[in-house]
Structure 1
Amino acid sequence: MKIQIGDVLRYKKPACAENLYEGGYLNFHFLTKSPEVKRLQLEKGINPSAKIKNCSGESVRPAILISSSPNKKGSAETPWEDFYDVDNGHIRYFGDNKEPGKDPATALGNKALLEAFRLSHSHCVEQRSLTPPILFFKRATVNGVAKGYPQFHGLGIINSVELVTQWDNKLERTFTNYAFDFTVLCIANEHEAFEWDWINNRRKVGFSLNLTNNTAPSSWRKWLTEGSNSLNKLRRRVSKLSLEKTINQKPIPGSDSERVLNEIYNYYANKKHRFEALAEVIAARVIDREHGIYQKGWVTQGSSDGGADFIGKVILGSGFSKVELIVLGQAKCEALKSPTGGNHIARTVARLKRGWLGVYVTTSYFSDSVQREVIEDKYPIILIHGRRVAEEVAKIVYESEEFGDVNDFLVSMDKDYPSRLKQRQAEEILNV
């Protein structure tokens, strides 16, 4: 049986495992039922399943279920707040000690997680294979009810452990506890569907680790082989779903946009620095074409551009209630069939100061890795690919009575280029 990240289950009390669904939601107790062992529970924050003997006679913990209750944060029961960022493959979860003066390593949940951490970071594959899968849940509110509806948030491995001192606001006291940082594994190869039978098979007395792992997510199997150094590349990243495919960044073969882009590239092939003026026009249209919030500045001179090809500003508000943001633009007239280099993006971002906005305009396209870095690191930079450049130029020509064709427009841009050149500091745009 498969469940997806984000699925809300029904956790009914008293437990009843007879029905597949309860009240329209998949029944947690039906999903996890196993006649050979005690049932899995979500009564506590950390819920380790009981150890059993596998076929080799080793004592193995089949799984650990983690449950977070946002509605209880700051209470005497849960005087902390867990952090779930599953879309970026990260969860920070606080252990189950709340008693001052108590060794937090002796709390039952902490004890189980510390053991899992030791196993998962072993350099021995056989030891790592004994690591219990850690499954994450978060209590959802359904029809105003905040109990009995756990939402599945994926599978993970402990990345790091930190001993922390926490403060209980209600009881006005401090206590020591553990903070666990988990890496949530990617299950994209399984189409975001988690095979729960893998967990149930691990709960059968005398089970084989090798055989049961055949139904484990591919990221889990890869981690078993490669160890903790592979966790970052196996991390769940929903940003992948936001990436613009290469095919959508290039004009359709044989289309008018492809003809326009080739004409632009060929025009600037031997004078690529002059593409900068066109790039700013495109950037202005992308940022805002109707309300005029973008104000042109200048094209920088090659010997003193400080890493920027054009400078402009965005004006938000008016009068006293106005703010101006510097726009630092980078333009690259690049080969149409090769992605723009990530190092160029990195250099542009490195030159942005607080409150600045970056724009990168290319006749090429952006690879998945470049887009992912921009999305995940939340860089304040706008990426404009070749297809968008061609489409905007075609619209300019179509909307204008001044230009008969694309070449007329490019020639006009070229004539204005010398007057656009200035040798100034970017901050001077705020005085214009």
Structure 2
Amino acid sequence: MNGARELPVTCQELRIDATYRNTNDWKKSEDVFNRFFRFADGKGINNTSGFRPKSRAGKGTDITKCAFCVLVTTFGESEFTYFGDNRSKGVPIHDTTVGGNRLLRSIYSLLHTGQRGKIPPFLCFETLKSAKGTHMRFLGLACPGAEGVSALEDLVAVWRIKGNDRFQNYRAMFTILREETVSRSWLEDLVAGTASVDSKYCPPTWSKWVSTGRYLALQCSRRIEPRSRKDQEPSTKEERMVLLRVHQGLSDREFEFAAADLVRLMDERFSDFSVTRATRDGGRDVVAEYRVGHALHQVRLEAYVEAKRWSPGSAVGVKPMMRLISRLKHRDIGVFITTSYFDAQVQRELIEDRHPVLLVSGGDVARLLLQKELGHDPALEEWLHRVRDRSGAGASGPTEGATQN
């Protein structure tokens, strides 16, 4: 369970990173998760994916009136983006079965009009499956919005693609608050109808957010460590298929043009891409600029991209990395992108010497294409075709505008 703590059935609080056994049946004594969410009203929460609202006692099942809501998700930051629960073509954005998007619309309307006291708390969990069964890891207490994010950005309706189908969904911003524990007594008060800040068990950071709008986010100070080979490679069958298509569908030269696209997809502040000549490129397959600042004033940094279309099992070592680093001047940025992975030694040297080089592995490539809705046909094949066309035309000039998602 990755060192997380599994708490006993009798626990009376949720604790950050603790895990809770989930059998999907609260009647089983070993089921900690569902038994925790059984309250005096005799009702629990559903075992659906995504949104799991808990209604107030005697107040019906309208999700917009829930006492609190469990969010099942996967992320690793104190500020995170959550997509709504519409996944089907032809279904209006607010007409989902659970009603998660109606809840999002409601809470962000309350947020934008200063009615934070009416917003239900969100309890975030991650599902962990192993040979020992399913467990739920508590990620923290969350509220909608984030520090410095405007009402134009925190909830946005976006179009997404699944296969050949297109559907509209919400993209919402949440913040994990700086609370190590959440008391079950607080949740019991919420279910009984007590306002969140009126309960004596209300977490201080939630009370502060409701009263002032200040986001006291959970601080995730993490030490930068080399990623394992497993972390850098595709983790699902879908990701493996995408990477295989890229590796087999492009030549070494064509992958250099693909690298320009991928870097642009990774961060829109990269611009003005030029793919260098096929021979004697000085260790830089793509030259670009990285913009820092705002529309009225920007600083442009030189960025150099090294692209290696290697077999998935071939590790990128120190020698090719030093070739790129030796070409970087003061205030230059490097990006090394490969269909393979980076060995531990080269990662340690980059971390210890603080070289300004971004590493993009084969798994990162696959996940990026899937995230940008380019991981399935016809979008994937069309993207590969555009890359081949540009490289076949002998283009060595700017490729700006080539990546459209």
Taking structure 1 as the reference length, the TM-score comes to: 0.46
Rg larger in structure: 1
Taking structure 2 as the reference length, the TM-score comes to: 0.48
**Larger % of helix: which?**
1
